[in-house]
Amino acid sequence: MSNIEVMKSFLASETGLATVSTTQADGRVLSSVVNCGVITHPVHGQSCVALVSRGSAARVGHVRRGSQVTVSARRGWNWVAVTGPADLIGPHNLPDNYDADQLRLLLREIYQAAGGTHDDYDEYDRAMVEDGRIAVLVAADRILGNHPQS
């Protein structure tokens, strides 16, 4: 099992619960607990760790400034962490040849990869737009861990 598959397995075991860390401008680390999953990056096709964030969240500003992102998951005494640069895809960060409908589907895909289900995806889509939600896609440049699959 590849390490990104180990991360995918870890995330799937607790509805994507993980800690995401970025570096603030003053060098301090900002960490928060999020739900995320492993998906195929919609632009370059590599596996990545993805989460949906408010566009106004501090982590998004850190990524825009160039901060690397670390996503770590712990299950019992085992853990795995993915570190790398992140891409942002949102209403104001659409890649070339990418439209609002593709963003809508991407946010759903990430939500589902993180273990989310919804009874009314039209309502989910509306909430994502109202909240200015954005996809954060973390490249798996470095993967570390202490897990039985290694």
The predicted pLDDT at position 25 comes to: 95
User: What is the span of the domain harbouring residue 16?
Assistant: 3-146
Mean pLDDT along residues 57-74: 96
Does the pLDDT value for residue 54 go beyond 60?
A: yes
CA distances (Å), origin 91, targets 37, 120, 131: 21, 21, 11
Of 2-11, 57-66, 111-120, give the lowest mean pLDDT range: 2-11
As beta bridge partners, residue 51 has: 36, 136
User: Alpha helix locations (H) across 49-120?
Assistant: 58-65, 100-113
Number of domains in the chain: 1
At 85, is the pLDDT very low, low, confident or very high (cuts 50, 70, 90)? very high
Beta strands in 14-132 (DSSP E): 17-23, 29-40, 47-54, 69-75, 78-84, 86-89
Q: Bridge-partner residues for 50, per DSSP?
A: 37, 137
The CA-based angle 96-88-122, given to 5 degrees, is: 85
pLDDT single digits (tens) 8-44: 999 998 888 999 999 999 999 999 999 999 999 999 9
CATH number at residue 29: 2.30.110.10
- What's the pTM? 0.94
